[in-house]
Amino acid sequence: MCPVTHVYHEMYFHVNWHCHGNHGLITPGIEPVLYEAIRDYCHRYHGVSLLAVGGTQNHIHMLIQAEPTVCLSDFIGKVKGFSSHEINQKVGAKTLQWQKGYGIETFAKKNLSAVTKYVEGQKEHHARGTVNETLERSGGDEESCPRN
């Protein structure tokens, strides 16, 4: 459970986002460095516990528990920025860029095991075509949004 002071909470969030243009930028060489950057950032962010991280070549899924004081949009923007910055510093400029948006869903503690397995098994779910459409939704880049 997320260490907390003076607040009881059971707030679980599934977050996902895609690479810019939905390109397959998360190569096997980049993936472990990326996941470590995400773990490191979450570990240092007050009020957030990372429970699982997974993904494919073109997107990331992250499972967190967060205190009610955490502004999730700020946290997600910062973890996305930190992780792409780390990769670009270690691998090369513009190696990894994220889409502007993201998807976020809440879920109950009783579903923690199932959602964790889903996040950690991303490659298998996509290979078998057993994706959960709700957990795969994310905000897209502005240029991919339909115009009226």
Q: Return the pLDDT at 70.
A: 96
The answer regarding whether domain 12-142 maps to CATH 3.30.70.1290 reads yes
CB atoms within 10 A of CB 60: 26
Q: What are the backbone dihedrals phi and psi of residue 93, each rounded to the nearest 5 degrees, phi first?
A: -55, 140
What's the pLDDT tens digit per position in 36-67? 999 999 999 999 999 999 999 999 999 999 99
Amino acid letter, residue 64: I
Q: What is the pTM of this model?
A: 0.85
In whole angstroms, give the CA distance from residue 20 to residue 13. Answer: 22
Give the start-to-end residue ranges of the domains of the chain.
Answer: 12-142
Band (pLDDT 50/70/90 cuts) for residue 148 is very low
DSSP calls for 36-89: HHHHHHHHHSTTEEEEEEEE-SSEEEEEEEE-TT--HHHHHHHHHHHHHHHHHH
Band (pLDDT 50/70/90 cuts) for residue 125 is confident
